[in-house]
């Protein structure tokens, strides 16, 4: 006897059972064609009225029932049986908000289907969107994404329902597959120019004070042992009397250097201009994929970090990121376009895990030696200011960027609204003055251009002056 016969039979039984299970699950999820009440109504009224008209010799009843009966019989004869397909075409997991983000849905409704109701994104709103009733057929439907905001969110979920003739049979409703996307934060680059670097390496776009191999002339000095012959400036040497009395002279050049910048993002709080909604959970959070119609501190912080990172990386500098509220999301400094992509994606993660830690964490080992630290925060508590001052005392160049939306608006639903606003303003003023007093210049993020102009002053050694003027 064939020993494999039982396996074959067994697998066949298993397959049948699996098919039955699959069919049962499909029935539960609505993935099959079934008659609706319209069909039952049409049959009941059609047969009933025509039959009653014939039996009772009532022509009016017969004529009213006739179209119902004909319509229902036509619908029954052309009842759809094939399994329709409504599926979203695959989309990129991570997209740039500026590119084409058109979504495509593949529709193959099968014969006999007349209507298809499918949920599509609603422009300006995140989430699965609104149901659209469309003619059935075999085509591809394109639609714009719901929200143009950045962050991670649901972009498409093709919940669908298909109907036969006159809605007499229905397939669904079926909950479609959810497609999620990460939309990277937008880039508003700070205008080019000399941003304040802290020379760290031997390659880069910035001129270092040290001698090196760049093209910028640093000095002309007498030849010394170790100098290369190709550095000899023959014209100066001859003028100095070489080879009779004078010495050889060499041209000394500056070294190229890059800067290391660490963006320290404070994601612990996300607040807007209205103090009344600071604790309102209904307000859409930054990075939730929804458009933030109001100015949010975290949204501004993310955009500022993105812009600064883009500008520094374009100069060839190395930029890293640390989340003061969640240091596990630390991104070591790096350079290049890949680092920018990595950083933008990490910013989305930072926004998603906002509010993780009550206190800011900036361990010294996360800040590379000689790196410039840009602390981006709304500065609503003393802890973040202390972290910035500590970093400055360790010898780093620290710049604080204030992202609290201005002007603040008091909560008019409580009599204490104005008093609270005054208190918040006073506390912040003291805090920012203390920061400036410790040599940490505080800039308010309004736009990339304005901040870029202030940052350029820092390059020319006016750090104390900028710090004083920011008070």
Partner 1 sequence: MSGWRGRWGSGWRGRLGRGRLGRGDDRSESRRERPANGTGRPGWRTRAVETPDTPDRDGGHADYDRPVIALADAGVVVPAWTLRLVMAALCGVLVGSLYLDGAPPVFVVVLVLAALATVVSPSSAAAAGLAGATVLGLVMVDPGGDDPLRLAVLASIFLVHLIHVMSGIAALVPLAAALHLPALRRPLARFLVIQAATFALVGFAAVLPAGQNPVPLEVAAVLGVTGVAVLSVVLLRRR
Task: State the helix-helix crossing angle for 382-393 and 417-437, rounded to 10 degrees.
Answer: 10
**According to the binding rule CB under 8 A, does residue 13 interact with partner 1?**
no
The angle that helices 59-77 and 37-56 make with each other, rounded to 10 degrees, is 140
Q: Is 25 in the site for partner 1 (CB under 8 A)?
A: no
The continuous run of DSSP H or E covering 448 comes out as helix 448-459
By CB under 8 A, name the one of 13, 18, 92, 203 that touches partner 1. Answer: 92
Angle at 28 between CA 181 and CA 133, to 5 degrees: 55
- Taking the complex as a whole, how short is the minimal distance between the CB of residue 459 and partner 1, in angstroms? 30
> Do 62 and 54 touch, CB atoms closer than 8 A?
yes
What's the CA gap between 257 and 260, in Å, rounded?
10
CB 323 to partner 1: min, Å: 12
How many angstroms separate the CA atoms of 185 and 286, rounded? 10
> Considering CB under 8 A, how many residues would be counted as binding partner 1?
112
Closer to partner 1 by Cβ: residue 167 or 212: 167
Q: Does 156 bind partner 1 (CB under 8 A)?
A: no
135 interacts with partner 1 by CB under 8 A: yes
Residue 231 contacts partner 1 per CB under 8 A = no
Measured from the Cβ of residue 141, the count of other Cβ atoms closer than 10 Å reads 19
Assess 86 for contact with partner 1 (CB under 8 A).
Answer: no
Encoded one letter per residue, x for contact with partner 1 by CB under 8 A and - for no contact, window 38-77 reads xxxxxxxxxx-xxx--xx-xxxxx-xxxxxxxxxxxx-xx
The number of beta carbons lying within 10 Å of the beta carbon of residue 28 is 9
- Residue 179, judged by CB atoms within 10 A of its CB (0-12, 13-18, 19+), counts as middle
Near partner 1 in 264-323, by CB under 8 A: 284-285, 287-290
Residue 318 Cβ vs partner 1, minimum distance, rounded to whole Å: 16
Q: Is 112 in the site for partner 1 (CB under 8 A)?
A: no
Stretch that binds partner 1, among 32-40, 187-195, 227-235, 453-461 (CB under 8 A): 32-40
Q: Which residue's CB is nearer to partner 1, number 180 or number 464?
A: 180
Among 112, 165, 362, 435, interactor with partner 1 by CB under 8 A: 165
CA distance 303 to 447: 10
Q: Which helix (H) or strand (E) element contains residue 217?
A: strand 206-222
Question: Would you count residue 167 as binding partner 1 (CB under 8 A)?
Answer: yes
Which one of residues 31, 97, 166, 202 is an interface residue with partner 1 (CB under 8 A)? 166
Q: Which is nearer to partner 1, 186 or 370 (CB)?
A: 186
Q: Which of 106, 188, 252, 411 binds partner 1 (CB under 8 A)?
A: 106
Instruction: Give the integer Cα–Cα distance in Å for 263 and 371.
Output: 10
Q: Within a 10 A sphere around the Cβ of 17, how many other Cβ atoms?
A: 10
- What is the DSSP code string of 52-68? HHHHHT-HHHHHHHHHH
Cα–Cα distance, 228 to 102 (Å, whole number): 60
Stretch that binds partner 1, among 127-135, 227-235, 252-260, 406-414 (CB under 8 A): 127-135
- Among residue numbers 340 through 369, which ones bind partner 1 (CB under 8 A)? 341-346, 349, 351-354
Task: Name which position in 80, 161, 324, 399 contacts partner 1 (CB under 8 A).
Answer: 161
Contact between 115 and partner 1 (CB under 8 A)? yes
91 binds partner 1, rule: CB under 8 A: yes
């Amino acid at each position: 006897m064939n020993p494999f016969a039982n396996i074959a039979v067994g697998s066949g039984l298993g397959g049948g059972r699996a098919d039955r299970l699959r069919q049962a699950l499909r029935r539960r999820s609505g993935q099959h064609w079934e008659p609706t009440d319209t069909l039952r109504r049409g049959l009941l009224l059609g047969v009933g009225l025509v039959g009653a008209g014939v039996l009772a010799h009532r022509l009016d009843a017969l004529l009213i029932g006739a179209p119902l009966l004909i319509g229902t019989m036509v619908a029954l004869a052309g009842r759809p049986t094939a399994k329709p397909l409504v599926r979203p075409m695959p989309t990129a997991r991570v997209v740039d908000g500026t590119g084409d983000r058109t979504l495509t849905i593949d529709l193959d409704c099968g014969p006999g289907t007349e209507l298809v109701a499918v949920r599509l994104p609603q422009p300006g709103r995140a989430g699965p969107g609104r149901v659209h009733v469309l003619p059935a057929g075999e085509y591809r439907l394109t639609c714009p994404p719901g929200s143009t905001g950045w962050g991670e969110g649901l972009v498409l979920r093709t919940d669908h329902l298909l109907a036969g003739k006159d809605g007499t049979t229905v397939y669904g409703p079926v909950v479609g597959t959810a497609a999620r996307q990460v939309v990277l934060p937008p880039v508003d680059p700070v205008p080019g120019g000399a941003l304040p670097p802290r020379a760290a390496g031997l390659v880069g776009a910035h001129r270092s004070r040290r001698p090196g191999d760049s093209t910028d002339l640093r000095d002309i000095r007498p030849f010394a042992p170790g100098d290369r012959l190709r550095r000899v400036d023959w014209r100066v040497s001859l003028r100095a009397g070489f080879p009779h009395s004078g010495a050889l002279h060499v041209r000394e050049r500056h070294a190229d250097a890059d800067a290391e910048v660490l963006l320290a993002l404070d994601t612990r709080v996300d607040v807007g201009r209205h103090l009344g909604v600071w604790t309102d959970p209904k307000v859409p959070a930054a990075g939730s994929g929804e458009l933030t119609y109001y100015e949010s501190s975290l949204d501004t912080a993310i955009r500022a970090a993105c812009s600064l990172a883009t500008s520094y990386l374009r100069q060839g500098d190395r930029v890293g990121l640390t989340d003061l509220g969640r240091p596990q999301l630390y991104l070591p400094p790096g350079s290049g376009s890949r680092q920018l992509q990595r950083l933008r994606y990490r910013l989305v993660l930072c926004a998603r895990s906002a509010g993780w830690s009550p206190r800011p964490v900036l361990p010294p080992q996360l800040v590379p030696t000689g790196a410039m630290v840009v602390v981006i925060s709304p500065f609503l508590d003393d802890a973040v200011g202390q972290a910035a001052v500590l970093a400055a005392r360790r010898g780093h160049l620290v710049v604080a960027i204030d992202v609290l939306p201005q002007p603040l608006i008091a909560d008019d639903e409580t009599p204490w609204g104005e008093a609270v606003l005054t208190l918040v303003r006073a506390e912040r003023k003291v805090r920012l003055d203390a920061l400036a007093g410790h040599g940490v210049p505080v800039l308010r993020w309004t736009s990339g251009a304005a901040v870029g102009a202030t940052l350029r002053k820092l390059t020319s050694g006016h750090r104390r002056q900028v710090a004083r003027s920011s008070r």
